[in-house]
Structure 1
Amino acid sequence: MGTKEQLKEERDKIVKGLEEAYRRLVEYKKEKKSPMIVVRNGKIVAVEPNEILPNIV
């Protein structure tokens, strides 16, 4: 396997891990009924758990 293939494989694993971490975070926030703090248009805002998307779009 070449270097490019190894890098692509590692990148795919990292992305999959980040997606899983996001899914777990959303699940946790909904369970605890806790807002998620995010940055939108340069401002810090709290997003209610029922408004959080269940997966990365």
Structure 2
Amino acid sequence: METKDQLKEERDKIVKGLEEAYRKLVEFKKAKNSPLVVVRNGKIVEIDPYDVPPTISYKRGQG
């Protein structure tokens, strides 16, 4: 069984990877002048990549 420290370390690596993937996605979309396609309130919408922050920090929720 893994300890809490091992789980926290693994979670931190996953979050870091998600942040890097987001950064690369926004960079790629800007380079290709292509919109980000997301689901917002159950509807598919296109977002200009220049309208989103270039980086994002994920924070662990309470609970």
Match of 1:5 in 2: 5
Q: What CA RMSD, in Å, does the superposition of the two structures yield over aligned residues? A: 1.3
- Can you list the C-alpha shifts for 1:7-36, whole angstroms capped at 9, x where unaligned? 000000000001000000000000110000
How many angstroms apart in 1 are the aligned matches of 2:9 and 2:49? 33
Q: What percent of counterpart residues are identical? A: 70
Which consecutive unaligned segments of at least 5 residues does structure 1 have? none
In structure 2, stretches of 5+ residues that fail to align are 58-63
Count of residue pairs the alignment pairs up: 56
Superposition TM-score, scaled by structure 2 size: 0.81
Query: For residues 52 and 31 of structure 1, what CA distance do their matches in structure 2 show?
Result: 14
Structure with the higher fraction of residues in helix conformation: 1
Partner of 2:47: 47
- Write out aligned runs for 1:26-37 (5 A): 26-37=26-37
Aligned to 2:15: 15
Distance in 2, Cα, partners of 1:39 & 1:53: 17
Which runs of 4 or more aligned residues in structure 1 lie more than 3 Å from their structure 2 counterparts after TM superposition? none
